[in-house]
Structure 1
Amino acid sequence: MDKKELVLVTGGSGFIAVHTIAKLLKKGYQVRATLRTMSRQDEVKAMINQAGAINLEMLEFVQADLLDKESWITAAQGVGYVIHVASPTPATRPKEESEMVKMAVEGLLNVFKASKQAGVKRIVLTSASGAVLAGHKNHPGTFTEKDWTNLAASINAYQRSKTRAEQEAWKFAKEQNIELTSILPVAVMGPVLGKDFSHSNQIIKSMFDGKMPFLLKMGFDYVDVRDVAELHILAMESESAVGERFLATTNENITYKQLAEWLKQEFHSRASKVSIREIPDFVVRFLSHFNESLKMPATFLGQNTNCSNEKARKLLGWKPRPAKEAIIATVQSMIDLEII
């Protein structure tokens, strides 16, 4: 692959996108990143620089909005590859569930149609483990890329939007004969570079701020954002990735209590407000009717959430760092930036 190839990264100010842009630049690619607000260019450049990329002359920005078709036609011109990260997140979602799904699906189709028109060689889509494991109360084993979220179940709008968008992506790729790979990260940790960070990082901040006096009795898989970025690039570069989904996980399922205990062991007095007290499931379900932040996790109570990374390791040679290392890097970066 020609390292001078121009790569379009959508949602350029986001946590995963910034780390991906930094890795692309370090590998010698030209990068065009989309922003909804062009006034954030200097801020995003600073974050990319913080991630270790110094050749910012290889980076350009273009204004684009998910629901503005014309902006994507402009953004995709002359592009060889697209890494489509932009999507409504739990932190930015509209109030209405249908609006979140509409924004994710219509936005994706706008990007994909513009990419096809521009003759893009391959699209790498950032989906989510939420498109695999939601709505499966009785799933006995480890989730793999063969699994899909059960849209008939009572699931959160975020998981519904990621699932519907990825389904539309595969449908479009098949009908339009365009190369596609999807990356499905679990809870994303790793170095925070600025004020944009993942929903999972926000949980860490809430723990340190003492805003989680009780912990939910559940566990999730974790992954470092640097490894997620690396997996996107492996998927873009490897022929064996075409037509495949890849779960991005360390293969470690960690409970909130275990996570809290790690934080206390590693950060001592700084973690004095981190609670290790668990709350019964029935109380969480009741409180979720009044507390917006509990609605999504409440849908996973009593459910297995273990995910496999075997496919990414075997097919692409991906080697993620341990979950604990990713979590500690999250906290240390938040301390350094005085976020906590």
Structure 2
Amino acid sequence: MTGGNGYLGSHSVALLLREGHRVRTTVRSPDRAADVRAALEADGADPDGRLEIVHADLTADDGWDDAVAGCAHVLHVASPFPGGRPAHDDDVIVPARDGALRVLRSARQGGVRRVVLTSSFAAVGYSRKASGRYDETDWTDPADDNSAYVRSKTIAERAAWDFVAAEGNGLELAVVNPSGIFGPVLGPRLSASIGLLKAMLEGAVPAVPPVYFGVVDVRDVAELHLRAMTHPAAAGERFLAGSGEAISFLQMARMLADGLGERAARVPTMELSAEQVREAARTDPALRETAGRLGEVPRLDTGKARSVLGWAPRDTATTIVDTAESLFRLGLVAWPGPGRLPADEGTAAR
């Protein structure tokens, strides 16, 4: 499995070990091996001598043949996710595409039975449809004016399918396309989505844009990968992953308030108008994509994962609250404690 020190990767390693598998996972640099072991300890998963951690970088050929040697399955979870807007789109697109192809070539060479690739809803639903409903037959057009990350997910997944069709020599491919991934964190390295939730809890986000997005629990995404790895019907298929109806940032804030009580006293209670978002996007490139999705409420049809693989995800509110609880548990949210909130903040929360 690639990227065992990442958010989804660490949960996936833990689940595989609990299910009795032997796991070899890659990290981009040797010093990240400690992150893998720390995450497993936080999750309560015991490697019991069944975990091997090796070094392989998606931007280089070295190490991949050895990494997959003797493996029956490969879960390709790792992918670049920029912390900000990259200087050039290819800084994100090329590593995502070429990294996926490196993994697939080594898997084919090593006699791997099946590769499960982590793609994204970004590769499915970022070319707007009038109906707003998306399923596995939909594709984002990489020529559309989307972020480098969105384009990278589409281009990398297309390249993977093309490779298997033309050069796979019997290698099976299954793809998981998650919506926004939330759920318990196992360490201090936070994804962009979790970082935003953390900022909401700390009062750093006074108002939120009226944007809707799908949510899925990281634990359920890990389980879906495992099902796609082993189920005979998963070969050659994409599986869209979402836990329910799309929610807005303001609805997320309300879920936090309902589930956490006083600890959510700093979450935002106001929503920006569409005009305010568009005006801010004129000077803030990071908001350009947000402004382009105003008014759209995507509807994700996840019936395929449920009916074919028997997948049953958690409800969204549970996922959001569990995310916050893990941030408090690990001391990653700056929280002054009961009775020490400023009066205006405590009043606003109610």
**TM-score, normalising length from structure 2?**
0.91
Q: Given the alignment, which residue of 220, 227, 234 partners 1:234?
A: 227
Q: Distance in 2 between matches of 1:211 and 1:290?
A: 20
Q: CA deviation at 1:81?
A: 0.7
- Opposite residue 288 of structure 1, the aligned amino acid is A
Contact 2:228 2:234 in 1 (8 A): yes
Q: CA deviation at 1:293?
A: 4.0
Q: Given the alignment, which residue of 314, 324, 343 partners 1:321?
A: 314
Q: CA deviation at 1:77?
A: 1.5
- Superposed CA deviations along residues 103-127 of structure 1, whole A, max 9, x for unmatched, are 1111111111111111111000000
Contact 1:13 1:196 in 2 (8 A): no
Q: CA deviation at 1:167?
A: 0.3
Q: Given the alignment, which residue of 324, 335, 338 partners 1:331?
A: 324
Q: CA deviation at 1:93?
A: 6.9
Q: Given the alignment, which residue of 109, 120, 125 partners 1:117?
A: 109
Please show how residues 60-99 of structure 1 align to structure 2 within 5 Å.
60-91=52-83, 94-99=86-91
Give 2:165's aligned residue: 174
When structure 1 is superposed on structure 2, of 280-289 and 316-325 the one drifting more is 280-289
When structure 1 is superposed on structure 2, of 297-306 and 175-184 the one drifting more is 297-306
Give 1:155's aligned residue: 146
Percent same amino acid at aligned positions? 39
- Opposite residue 57 of structure 1, the aligned amino acid is G
Give 2:200's aligned residue: 207
Please show how residues 124-139 of structure 1 align to structure 2 within 5 Å.
124-136=116-128, 138-139=129-130
When structure 1 is superposed on structure 2, of 85-94 and 267-276 the one drifting more is 85-94
Q: Distance in 2 between matches of 1:46 and 1:139?
A: 46
Decide whether aligned partners of structure 1 residues 339 and 292 sit closer, same or farther in structure 2, where only a CA change above 3 A counts. farther
- Superposed CA deviations along residues 17-57 of structure 1, whole A, max 9, x for unmatched, are 10000010011111111111212222211211222311341
Q: Secondary structure at the match of 1:212?
A: coil
Contact 2:29 2:57 in 1 (8 A): no
Query: RMSD across aligned C-alpha pairs, in angstroms?
Result: 1.5
Q: Secondary structure at the match of 2:133?
A: coil
Q: Distance in 1 between matches of 2:88 and 2:133?
A: 32
Please show how residues 1-340 of structure 1 align to structure 2 within 5 Å.
9-91=1-83, 94-136=86-128, 138-175=129-166, 176=168, 177-340=170-333
- Opposite residue 119 of structure 1, the aligned amino acid is G
Q: Secondary structure at the match of 1:57?
A: coil
Q: CA deviation at 1:259?
A: 1.1
Q: Distance in 1 between matches of 2:34 and 2:5?
A: 11
Q: CA deviation at 1:331?
A: 0.2
Contact 1:156 1:299 in 2 (8 A): no
- Superposed CA deviations along residues 259-312 of structure 1, whole A, max 9, x for unmatched, are 111212222322222112111223223323433543443332222322111000
Contact 1:154 1:299 in 2 (8 A): no
Decide whether aligned partners of structure 1 residues 223 and 161 sit closer, same or farther in structure 2, where only a CA change above 3 A counts. same
**TM-score, normalising length from structure 1?**
0.93
Q: Secondary structure at the match of 2:214?
A: strand
Decide whether aligned partners of structure 1 residues 311 and 287 sit closer, same or farther in structure 2, where only a CA change above 3 A counts. same
When structure 1 is superposed on structure 2, of 286-295 and 65-74 the one drifting more is 286-295
Contact 1:97 1:157 in 2 (8 A): yes
Q: Distance in 2 between matches of 1:191 and 1:46?
A: 14
Unaligned runs of 5+ in 2: 334-350
Contact 2:256 2:264 in 1 (8 A): yes
Contact 2:127 2:139 in 1 (8 A): no
Contact 1:140 1:304 in 2 (8 A): no
Q: Distance in 2 between matches of 1:92 and 1:32?
A: 31
Q: Distance in 1 between matches of 2:49 and 2:130?
A: 49
- Opposite residue 104 of structure 1, the aligned amino acid is A
Unaligned runs of 5+ in 1: 1-8
Give 2:337's aligned residue: none
Q: Distance in 2 between matches of 1:286 and 1:90?
A: 24
- Opposite residue 326 of structure 1, the aligned amino acid is T
Decide whether aligned partners of structure 1 residues 288 and 56 sit closer, same or farther in structure 2, where only a CA change above 3 A counts. farther
Higher Cα radius of gyration: 2
Q: Distance in 1 between matches of 2:187 and 2:199?
A: 17
